[in-house]
Amino acid sequence: MTNHWETLREEFSQQNGPGKLWLHEIKIIAGKKIRKLREVPPSTFGLTNWDVDELVQIVLVERLLGRNQAAYVYEVAETIEDARKLLSRELNIALDVIRVPNQVDNIWKNLEPKLLKEGWKGSKLPELGSQEEESITKLVIQLILNQKRLKNQGTERLSPLFSAGVLDNLAKEILIINSALPSALLMRSLREALTIISPALSIESVGADSQEFDHSPMNEGKLTNDWGQLTTEENDIVQVIRKQLDIETIEICFLLANKASQSEIASVLGISRPTAKKRIDDTKLLLVKILNELELDDQEKVKVITVLFDQLGFGTMEGSLIK
């Protein structure tokens, strides 16, 4: 029996493009996306309402046909899972493009002068192969994802995402990779990173979005690798802890684990330093209280917290926590 992906490939080949089966797959993906964005006003993306069919048409016209990305999916994907991941990516890029105004342009306007100040040549790299370009793009995306973000101010899309100091640091880190990265590559990296950390979404929604993509090449190691499989009891403990942490507490946990200062945490959360200190102290007390109530020994505490961080999307790269 022909598998599902082969059926879609056959339809593409016969019609010289995506047909009804492809549209059905995109519609399912668009429906899931809209459910995740239900708290975000559709006007954020220049839409009058959240309509699945309209979003499908945007992806089809702007990306799959307009950018010929359907052919790319057809050529690259080996399984239906591969195809769905690529189609999800196209949908996210389509949403990013129709944001008004475009957040990528806003960040680039502030980042480009800092790159030039640091000695960026802005020229095309000679003889850059597709695999090498993809590898460099992933490194730049990871740099962007790892920068400390300012707290989102509601659903206003022009709420600043990065402070000037963070962009200074980002410019320096980009040039460490290569001082002559083309602007097209940097813009592409910004665009892909912002489909994950868009200020139009809450931290919770961003976390959900990041699960749609396979970022394993970026994450050098999962924190749970050394622990093996959890027992049912241990997994229950992790879930008990997780349910008691709100979005801000999770953000503070990550920042503390990444050795951020009180001032840096205050900047990320958009609060004063004294308030940040109180929130940090409250977070530490909460974790201690939860772990003590569960009557865990020291090794068990380390294990469940490590697994918890892994489930919350924290990974490791060159010895530091990332998310």
Of all residues in the chain, what percent carry a pLDDT higher than 70? 72
Enumerate the β-bridge partners of residue 221: 316
Backbone angles phi, psi at 292, to 5 degrees: -65, -40
What is the pLDDT, as a whole number, of residue 128? Answer: 60
C-alpha separations of 18 from 3, 21, 40, 60, 321 in Å? 17, 8, 30, 9, 41
Q: How far apart are CA 59 and CA 91, in angstroms?
A: 6
Q: How far apart are CA 118 and CA 130, in angstroms?
A: 27
pLDDT in tens, 34-87: 988 877 778 777 788 889 999 999 999 989 998 889 999 999 999 999 999 999
Whose CA is closest to 58, among 20, 17, 30? 30
**What is the Cα gyration radius of the chain?**
21
What is the pLDDT, as a whole number, of residue 196? Answer: 53
Q: Are the CB atoms for 3 and 9 separated by under 8 Å?
A: no
Per the rule left: phi > 0, alpha: psi between -120 and 50, beta: everything else, 225 is: alpha
Enter the DSSP assignment of 319. T
pLDDT in tens, 118-144: 999 876 555 566 677 888 888 898 888
Backbone angles phi, psi at 224, to 5 degrees: -90, 0
Whose CA is closest to 201, among 29, 89, 39, 87? 39
Helices assigned H by DSSP within 122-163 = 130-146
What is the pLDDT, as a whole number, of residue 127? Answer: 57
Provide the sign of the torsion angle of the four alpha carbons 197, 203, 204, 207, taken in this order. Answer: positive
Residue ranges for the chain with pLDDT beneath 50: 1, 152-158, 198-228, 315-323
For domain 232-322, the CATH architecture is: Orthogonal Bundle (1.10)
- What are the domain boundaries of the chain? 4-97, 103-210, 232-322
Enumerate the β-bridge partners of residue 317: 320
Q: How far apart are CA 79 and CA 95, in angstroms?
A: 25
Element at 260 (helix H, strand E): none
Q: Are the CB atoms for 306 and 227 separated by under 8 Å?
A: yes
DSSP string, 186-248: HHHHHHHHHHHH-TTS-HHHHHHHHTTS--TTT--B-TTTTT-SPPHHHHHHHHHHHHT--HH
Whose CA is closest to 13, among 70, 58, 67? 70
What is the pLDDT, as a whole number, of residue 221? Answer: 36
pTM, rounded to two decimals = 0.40
